[in-house]
A and B are shown apart, each in its own frame.
Chain A
Amino acid sequence: MVALNVSCRRGEEWLFRDFSFSIRPGELVWLRGQNGSGKTSLLRIAAGLSRPEAGSITVAGGHPGVYIGHANALKDDLTVTESLTFLARLHGLESDSKRINGALRMLAIHHRRHAFVRTLSQGQRRRVALARLALEREPSLWILDEPFDALDTQGIEAVNQLLAAHLASRGSVFLTSHLALSLPKTAVTELEFPVGAPA
């Protein structure tokens, strides 16, 4: 993915201007910056949810593969299995019960697969939301907004494994995280996000 001179406004104020960067296959870019600097806005622009005020984002192969935001996109009144199956079908992933169960097992939430989402804790819901990553097969761009939020060490470890496997197969990752990452340092590119009034 290549971003050129991306600028974003919130109301009358500029969040950031003329920001450029690129992400290569097999690369993980960790977007770092203070609260309110516009990290989520940049990720949403990268995912195609918003249009930037100026500049452009080009993603090789068109559609960026995955966007998982702050919110989990799970319905309270569906069970874990139903939720993951819906998300899988929505995004054209394999959704047979074997694959779904496998994904749930990978995030260690398989034992709650028939529970309604509203009965789960925050960390458990995050696991279900991230279980979708285990179903992804293509080496696409993953855009993740605070993926490790609310996860315990076991959960973080599971996600790290998914990220590592994805990067190994020439996929790329663009994420924010206020927690320090614990992946092999060679794969991580830190991108410091500019803050304050633009030029």
Chain B
Amino acid sequence: MSRNVFMLVAGRDLRLAGRRRFEALLPVVFFIVAASLFPLGVGPEPQVLRQIAPGVVWVCALLAAMLSLNTLFASDHQDGSLEQLLLSRHSTILVAGGKALAHWVLTGLPLILAAPLLGVLFDMQSHSILVMVIGLILGTPVLSLLGSIGAALTLGLRSGGVLILLLVLPLCIPILIFGAGAVGSVDAGMSAAGHLSLLGALLLLSLVAAPPATAAALRISMS
């Protein structure tokens, strides 16, 4: 029964997003556009682009994932659904987890699928692209999990969108370092195992610690 509320909330969010398909695509569009700006700013020299590619893709993924965060709880807050979610017999932690899962499916997953395209644009080698994608698979859920804490803390605030960025981006720096570092080490001919396993460890830590923090933040914001 308890497991159901997790899927119930995630399923509802996905269904709602499905009815507003255009809006759901905005983060991916931003991702591609923002990353494409770099060659225009830095110059099209393949050597340089290949070097900056992992960093650029990861930073743009970070920003794109953060973009859709301030609406994570906003509509539920406005129409009173959030109160009902908090009052259900089930743990708020599962509700928070369900929300983060829906956010990842709607934002993280498309980013993962769009990343190889960017890899090609930056003339990355195929094994580099592969490592980058694996890193994104491990890292984007962490962005959704940490981001949901930020969204819960800034619930209903006027400056919510930018404030979330300021709050959450510093916490995401380790993900950025290990994700981009994984590609860098593969490019240098070494194994990415160390970086990827650190990413995995951070993912596990976030899976365990972030939903309770989000639940606590929701209670604070709704009190």
Contacts and interface: CB of A to CB of B under 8 A. Distances in A.
Touch test A–B (CB under 8 Å): yes
Interface of A: 47-51, 63, 67, 69-78, 82, 86-87, 89-92
Nearest to B4: A89
B16 A49 contact: no
Interface residues of B, number: 24
Interface string B1-38: 10011001000100110011000000000000000000
A78 B80 contact: no
A86 B87 contact: no
Contacts of B15: 78, 82
B89 A86 contact: no
A9 B142 CA distance: 37
B126 interface: no
A49 B8 contact: no
B79 A73 contact: yes
Contact of B86 (A49, A70, A76): A49
A89 B16 CA distance: 17
Nearest to B9: A90
A90 B80 contact: no
A75 B16 contact: yes
B223 A49 contact: yes
A86 B12 contact: yes
A73 B89 contact: no
A49 B84 CA distance: 10
A49 B87 contact: yes
A54 B185 CA distance: 57
Contact of A50 (B8, B78, B85, B223): B223
Decide if the interface of chain B is mainly helix, strand, loop or mixed.
helix
A72 B79 contact: yes
Contacts of B5: 90
Contacts of A71: 78-80, 83
A47 B20 contact: no
B191 interface: no
A170 B188 CA distance: 74
Contacts of B20: 77
Given A71-B80, A77-B19, 13 more contacts: A48-B87, A51-B223, A71-B78, A71-B79, A72-B79, A72-B80, A73-B80, A74-B79, A75-B79, A78-B15, A91-B88, A91-B89, A92-B88
15 contacts: A47-B87, A49-B83, A51-B223, A67-B87, A71-B80, A71-B83, A73-B80, A74-B79, A75-B79, A75-B81, A76-B79, A77-B16, A78-B16, A89-B8, A90-B88
B71 interface: no
A74 B1 CA distance: 23
A73 B84 contact: yes
A111 B1 CA distance: 31
A74 B80 CA distance: 7
Contacts of A69: 80, 83
A48 B90 CA distance: 14
Contacts of B80: 69-73
A89 B15 CA distance: 16
B75 interface: yes
Contacts of B8: 86, 89-90
B222 interface: yes
A38 to B, nearest CB: 14
Contacts of A77: 16, 19-20
A49 B11 CA distance: 25
A92 B89 contact: yes
A161 B51 CA distance: 72
A75 to B, nearest CB: 6
A75 B89 CA distance: 20
Contacts of B222: 49-50
A73 B81 contact: yes
Q: Closest 6 interchain pairs by CB?
A: A71-B80, A73-B80, A50-B223, A77-B19, A73-B84, A73-B81
